[in-house]
Amino acid sequence: MRASRQIKRQLAATKVVSALLFGLVAVAAMLPSPAKAWWNDDWSMRKKITLDASATGANITDPIGTTPVLIRLHTGNFRFTSAKEDGSDLRFVAGDDKTPLKYHIEKFDPLLNEGLVWVAVSNVQPGAKTEIWLYRGS
């Protein structure tokens, strides 16, 4: 009698543990995964750029759609030696790692380690962070 109760308890415990493990695996499967694709193999390096429209960032509260964003490159966030002298190998890609973004290089000076690039970022959501990729080194 005692053995059957113990077996029932063990089975119940096994079912609970199995259900918890299944739940954890299901939740983990639903979490977004970071972009692992490489947009184009001709570019050897990339850098993630996060645009923060939340209250701790730009505090954008209304939808703004596609908007030009100034990306300031300097020695603290960019290695100018890894790009062409005129910046012609720079490319900007949306967070999906598939969609090229239009951009305009206003200034690119590897001697002064300064770059100003305007990027047309689509679908900037109010109160959220948007990620884009900067590719260089083709």
Mark whether 62 and 24 lie in a shared domain.
no
Task: Tell me the per-residue pLDDT of 53-102, one tens digit each, with 9 for 90 and over.
Answer: 999 989 999 988 899 999 999 999 999 999 999 999 999 999 999 999 99
Determine the 3-state secondary structure of 133 from DSSP.
strand
- The reported pLDDT for the residue numbered 1 is 60
DSSP 81: G
Q: Note whether residue 38 is domain-resident.
A: no
pLDDT at 40: 80
What pTM does this model have?
A: 0.70
Q: Indicate if the pLDDT at residue 16 is higher than 80.
A: no
Residues 80 and 106 in one domain: yes
Structural domain includes residue 83: yes
| Domain assignment of residue 40, yes or no | no
What is the amino acid identity at position 57?
A: G
> Is the pLDDT confidence value at 14 over 90?
no
Position 11 scores a pLDDT of 60
Per-residue 3-state assignment (H helix, E strand, C coil) for the chain = CHHHHHHHHHHHHHHHHHHHHHHHHHHHHHCCCCCCCCCCCCCCEEEEEEEECCCCCCCCCCCCEEEEEEEEEECCCCCHHHCCCCCCCCEEEECCCCCEECEEEEEEECCCCEEEEEEEEEEECCCCEEEEEEEECC
Tell me, what's the pLDDT at 3?
A: 62
Q: What is the mean pLDDT of residues 2-14?
A: 65
User: Is the pLDDT confidence value at 117 over 80?
Assistant: yes
Q: Is the pLDDT of residue 121 over 90?
A: yes
Our measurement of the distance from residue 107's CA atom to the centroid of its chain's CA atoms, rounded to an integer in Å, reads 25
pLDDT in tens, 20-48: 444 444 444 444 445 457 888 888 899 99
Give the domain extent around 111: 45-136
Same-domain check for residues 123 and 68: yes
pLDDT given at position 23: 45
Q: Do residue 58 and residue 1 come from a single domain?
A: no
1 and 26 within one domain? yes
**Residues 59, 18: one domain?**
no
Domain count for the chain, please give it.
2
90 and 27 within one domain: no
